[in-house]
A and B are shown apart, each in its own frame.
Chain A
Amino acid sequence: AQSVTQPDIHITVSEGASLELRCNYSYGATPYLFWYVQSPGQGLQLLLKYFSGDTLVQGIKGFEAEFKRSQSSFNLRKPSVHWSDAAEYFCAVVSAGGTSYGKLTFGQGTILTVHP
């Protein structure tokens, strides 16, 4: 069964600093990978997704992520964090076949706090 691990439950950075949120997945075939952001009491907004092709994916709000098959990772990065980036971030993988076809599996989430 597919799974997603986000090792960091909570990360704190200063505004203007760089950011990297880690995501590791376990999946037999080529995964479809996503990063979502959730503000308190809100739904999820898609930041970026990887299906195939270029392993460095650009998303909205200045975020990017790199797919590394050898490390089973899909880490999210941003060169300079803004106070408005404070939120919870979820990495997710979708099954492309079998009985779990089309179902998103989410990581545990990483809460980002930004200090001024």
Chain B
Amino acid sequence: GAVVSQHPSRVICKSGTSVKIECRSLDFQATTMFWYRQFPKQSLMLMATSNEGSKATYEQGVEKDKFLINHASLTLSTLTVTSAHPEDSSFYICSATHPENYGYTFGSGTRLTVV
């Protein structure tokens, strides 16, 4: 149990376009999901906390207008990178908290390349 599916695994887009990344909890309901960004050879940096039915909470320094988060259901959160620029190229990972075992299950990540 406790599987989180993240899609797509890789995406290449042109500068100025928007990209949507999906994070789904497959076998449990996740009231809270987290979005992280990971630069090469670095640790994970929390971008925002996504709560079902309410606005996301962004970490300091994260542009909420650039990184739009929607958590419309208990099994789906989406991250949309708007007007993408090459500096947005990174590895984005989501995680969901399992309500029973207080565990954090991670998606497999999305490699975003902006050209």
Contact B108 A104 (CB under 8 A): no
Which listed residue (B6, B43, B49) contacts A107, Cβ 8 A?
Answer: B43
Query: Is the CB of B104 closer than 8 A to any CB of chain A?
Result: yes
Contact A106 B43 (CB under 8 A): yes
Query: Is the CB of A67 closer than 8 A to any CB of chain B?
Result: no
Complex alpha-carbon distance, A51 and B42, angstroms:
26
Which listed residue (A44, A51, A102) contacts B93, Cβ 8 A?
Answer: A44
**Distance of A87 from chain B, by nearest CB (Å):** 13
Query: Is the CB of A34 closer than 8 A to any CB of chain B?
Result: yes
**Distance of B34 from chain A, by nearest CB (Å):** 7
Chain A residues positioned under 8 Å from B97 (CB to CB): 102
Chain B residues positioned under 8 Å from A41 (CB to CB): 91, 109, 111
Given A41-B109, A102-B32, CB of A49 within 8 Å of CB of B43: no
Complex alpha-carbon distance, A56 and B59, angstroms:
33
Chain B residues positioned under 8 Å from A49 (CB to CB): 103
Chain A residues positioned under 8 Å from B108 (CB to CB): 42-43
Which listed residue (A42, A104, A107) contacts B34, Cβ 8 A?
Answer: A104
Given A41-B109, A43-B93, A104-B34, CB of A34 within 8 Å of CB of B104: yes
Query: Is the CB of B44 closer than 8 A to any CB of chain A?
Result: yes
Chain A interface residue count, Cβ-Cβ cutoff 8 angstroms: 21
Query: Is the CB of A58 closer than 8 A to any CB of chain B?
Result: no
Q: Which residue of A lies closest to B105 (CB)?
A: A46
Chain A residues positioned under 8 Å from B49 (CB to CB): 102-103
Complex alpha-carbon distance, A49 and B2, angstroms:
15
Complex alpha-carbon distance, A8 and B6, angstroms:
30
Complex alpha-carbon distance, A105 and B43, angstroms:
10
Contact A90 B111 (CB under 8 A): no
Query: Is the CB of A63 closer than 8 A to any CB of chain B?
Result: no
Query: Is the CB of B46 closer than 8 A to any CB of chain A?
Result: yes
Which listed residue (B4, B42, B104, B109) contacts A104, Cβ 8 A?
Answer: B104
Chain B residues positioned under 8 Å from A75 (CB to CB): none
A-B pairs, 9 with minimum CB distance: A43-B106, A44-B106, A43-B108, A106-B43, A43-B109, A106-B44, A108-B43, A109-B43, A43-B107
